Chain A
Amino acid sequence: EPEVTQTPSHQVTQMGQEVILRCVPISNHLYFYWYRQILGQKVEFLVSFYNNEISEKSEIFDDQFSVERPDGSNFTLKIRSTKLEDSAMYFCASEWGQGEAGYTFGSGTRLTVV
């Protein structure tokens, strides 16, 4: 069964550093998403991406964050100047049609900011 692949599985970074979280969505999917889940809290929407541009973003997704699809397969989330409160699980997801059949989530990247 096709999978969404995320790397790394765990990233530890110092406060103020930049991190790039990487995702390889399912190959024929058109819509891509980043979500995060702070420990013990809800899964929260960050951003959606379609046709090489952001289609929607949440209040969390401020200037500290950016997304990119640098080639035909990778989808990245960059977090600049990380803060302690950025520590969370970050999930990438993709789907074929918008909101039609539910996402396939990747296994996640656990980001720890120290």
Chain B
Amino acid sequence: QKEVEQNSGPLSVPEGAIASLNCTYSDRGSQSFFWYRQYSGKSPELIMSIYSNGDKEDGRFTAQLNKASQYVSLLIRDSQPSDSATYLCAVVDNAGNMLTFGGGTRLMVKP
């Protein structure tokens, strides 16, 4: 059974701070890792992908991957109230077919 685990939160940060979201996964053969943002009642929206160990930066977002520890994280710099949403970690396995999602971390950015 492939598992993707996230702290459900809520994670509350003040506006302008760094938000740090974490995810662990059970399938060591996982190859591709994604972060999605989901507003209440809406569909998941892809914000970051990462495939190799290390950091990947895109604007205010940085994804970090450590395959040895089976750990992936997302940093959001200069957090804005509009970043308030649930952040979903998702993993694609070796077969490269389906996404397995974590339960999401609810982020609240307070003005």
Which chain A residue has the least Cβ–Cβ distance from B35? A102
Interchain CB contact under 8 A, B43 and A99: no
A7 at the interface (CB under 8 A from B): no
A13 at the interface (CB under 8 A from B): no
Q: How many residue pairs bridge A and B at CB < 8 Å?
A: 55
A45 at the interface (CB under 8 A from B): yes
Interchain CB contact under 8 A, B102 and A56: no
Size bracket of the B interface: 20 to 34
Binds B, one of A14-22, A66-74, A78-86, A104-112: A104-112
Interchain CB contact under 8 A, B99 and A105: no
Choice from B46, B95, B98 contacting A33 with Cβ under 8 Å: B98
A52 at the interface (CB under 8 A from B): no
Interchain CB contact under 8 A, A99 and B31: yes
A64 at the interface (CB under 8 A from B): no
Which chain A residue has the least Cβ–Cβ distance from B101? A43
Which residues from chain A contact B42 at a C-beta distance below 8 Å?
107-108
Q: Smallest CB–CB gap between A15 and chain B, Å?
A: 23
Which residues from chain A contact B44 at a C-beta distance below 8 Å?
43, 91, 105
Interchain CB contact under 8 A, A42 and B97: no
Which chain B residue has the least Cβ–Cβ distance from A91? B43
Which chain A residue has the least Cβ–Cβ distance from B104? A42
